[in-house]
Chain A
Amino acid sequence: MSASAAKNDVVVPGPFKQPASKVVPLAVQSKKFNYRAMAASVAQTIVPPLVVLVILLVIWQVACSNPSSSLPPPSEVWAQSKDLIVNPFYVNGDQDIGLGWRVLVSLERVAYGFGLAAIVGVLVGAIIGQSVWAMRGLDPIFQVLRTVPPLAWLPLSLAAFLDSRPSAIFVIFITSIWPIIINTAVGIRNIPQDYRNVAQVLRLNPIEFFYKIMVPAAAPYIFSGLKIGVGLSWLAIVAAEMLTGGVGIGFFIWDAWNSSRLTDIIVALVYIGTVGFVLDKLVTLLGAVITRGTASN
């Protein structure tokens, strides 16, 4: 193919050569360049953390390889908890399931609690952001409530709901709602007067104003609230499950501690960290897609 192309280049004069030499090679070249640049940027983001990870594992291995050390080294984690690492989705009975399933169970609770918090939080935040007096009256109360640690809500919610599942969901809800409310309210208050004037001149009704002006204008704020909220709910569910039981990842850690399976705990911690990281990135990505334009302006 390339040989014939080269032949063409030599034999065929001007007019035939022009489109071929102008269009095709340029496109190919720029694409090749893009791939190379992409590979370089991927390498730049992935290689350094990998190197650091390897160094940390080596240090850990060295530090814990003494037989008298109280914590297991990475090699022992691999040896004893290999099935947990290699196969996240095995099922060996009611209580013996892979960590992937456990994470999914926890995520389901987070989905309920956080989803509810997102809806209620944005609505309440919107109302508060619209009213100076609501802001003045409620803001101090929210600032106090948001500092209450997630687990401190658990006894109360157990007493109220009499069941562990809704209690865990409530704890997630009550933990993650404050940053959502506060950020939404601030975002709504910061909507430029210009946009409000446009809405007034076009005579948008309150519902149109809410979803055509308020939500998009405040979206960058709302999403930073959601991002904090999703992080908090993941923190809360792991802690809440330790106390309420069930099959979630939090209870798995507590269970492993009670039966002295330290290596399992270490694997579970890696799972929790990874899932938390992914959740955070997901909300960021969603925010970037939805706030196209708004954030850059």
Chain B
Amino acid sequence: MSAYLKLDHIGKSFQRSGTTSEVLRDIRLTIGKGEFVSIIGHSGCGKSTLLNLVAGLTCVTTGAVILENREVNSPGPDRAVVFQNHSLLPWLTVYENVNLAVSKVFAGSKTKAERNEWIMENLNLVQMAHAKDKLPGEISGGMKQRVGCARGVEMERKLVLLAAPFGALGALTRAHLQDQMMETHTRLGNTIIMIPHDVDEAVLLSDRIVMMTNGPAATIGEVLEVPLERPRNRIQLAGDRIYLKSREAVLKFLYERHRFVEAAE
């Protein structure tokens, strides 16, 4: 496994009006090309911060994010981000929101007609084609998130960062998009780092699950390999021994060894 992305002793602290709060401490992780990695941990453990660091939206305090032997300190065309809160621009229609990303990424490589086709295909994928001329304010939260996923030109880039992309979706839509994502991942062989919505999603999708300890100063507690063959089928896996064992391991980590203690804040 070649080191595609290396998180080298990363630490991150935020300073606000004189007080320093340490969010992440000494994160060490190597991710190979084409790997699907999930980051899991209790609320407030710095998962999103870690993802923002890899995206280049914030900078590390100590250590370095190294992508293909280059240090990351700003967003790049090789990385795509699907935000947790969908972040659609409210003054653009659904179509225009997707188009903003698509026309930027495919500026040189696709004609206008091809881009239009691409957008409609992806809107169809998330079953949002019928609402293409609606403004984000006119559609529901789950629909916004689906558009956020469709904006994932994202899906075709080399490194895709997903912050709970399927959180607000109904179970059926979520399953549909998860399958779609596995298919894209297999086809393109890109590297994906995801903050999953729940344990099942993590085990179903990931090659490895990175489990974080509780904050402040959270770090990686354990990394779990999920040695399941691909392509994976959710129905067959439901009774699979490895699947159940992996699931149990994650649950044990989260709810036995690193129980979320609110008073710790």
Residues of A within 8 A of B (CB): 194-195, 197-198, 200-204, 212-213, 216-217, 219, 291-294, 296-297
Contact = CB atoms under 8 A, between A and B. Distances in A.
Nearest to B153: A202
B52 to A, nearest CB: 8
B55 A294 contact: no
Contact of A296 (B75, B80, B81, B137): B137
Given A292-B135, A293-B136, A201 B57 contact: yes
Nearest to B87: A194
B89 A201 contact: no
A195 B89 contact: yes
A216 B57 contact: no
B85 interface: yes
A217 B87 CA distance: 13
Contacts of B77: 203
Given A293-B137, A297-B137, A216 B85 contact: no
B260 interface: no
B83 A197 contact: yes
B136 A198 contact: no
A195 B104 contact: no
B176 to A, nearest CB: 25
Given A198-B89, A213-B89, A293-B136, A203 B75 contact: yes
Contacts of A203: 75-77, 104
Contacts of A194: 83, 85, 87
B221 interface: no
Contacts of B137: 293, 296-297
A201 B91 contact: no
Nearest to A215: B91
A287 to B, nearest CB: 13
Interface string B65-92: 0000000001111011101010101111
B224 interface: no
Interface string B113-141: 00000000000000000000001110000
Q: Would you call the interface of chain B mostly helix, strand, loop, or mixed?
A: loop
Nearest to B74: A200
Contacts of A202: 100-101, 104-105
Most chain B Cβ neighbours within 10 Å, of A197, A200, A201:
A201
Interface residues of B, number: 24
Contact of B100 (A212, A219, A294): A212
9 closest cross-chain pairs (CB), A and B: A297-B90, A216-B91, A194-B87, A293-B135, A293-B91, A294-B91, A293-B90, A200-B75, A201-B81
Given A194-B83, A194-B85, A293-B136, A204 B104 contact: yes
B80 A201 contact: yes
Contacts of B56: 200
Q: Would you call the interface of chain A mostly helix, strand, loop, or mixed?
A: helix
A287 B151 CA distance: 28
Given A198-B83, A216-B89, A293-B92, 15 more contacts: A195-B89, A197-B57, A198-B89, A200-B57, A201-B57, A201-B79, A201-B81, A203-B76, A203-B77, A203-B104, A204-B104, A212-B100, A292-B91, A293-B135, A296-B137
B74 to A, nearest CB: 8
Given A203-B104, A212-B100, A293-B137, A198 B87 contact: yes
Contact of B91 (A197, A200, A204, A291): A291
Contacts of B83: 194, 197-198
Nearest to A297: B90
A204 B57 CA distance: 14
A297 B55 contact: no
A219 B77 CA distance: 29
A202 B56 CA distance: 12
B55 A201 contact: yes
B18 to A, nearest CB: 17
Interface string B33-65: 000000000000000000000011100000000
Contacts of A297: 90, 136-137
B54 to A, nearest CB: 12
A202 B82 CA distance: 11
A291 B76 CA distance: 31
A213 B100 CA distance: 11
Nearest to A290: B91
18 contacts: A197-B57, A197-B83, A198-B87, A200-B57, A200-B75, A201-B79, A202-B104, A204-B104, A212-B100, A216-B89, A216-B91, A217-B89, A292-B91, A292-B135, A293-B91, A293-B92, A293-B136, A297-B136
A4 B174 CA distance: 56
A197 B85 CA distance: 12
Most chain A Cβ neighbours within 10 Å, of B55, B76, B137:
B137
Nearest to B82: A201
A297 B86 CA distance: 14
B56 to A, nearest CB: 8
A213 B57 CA distance: 17
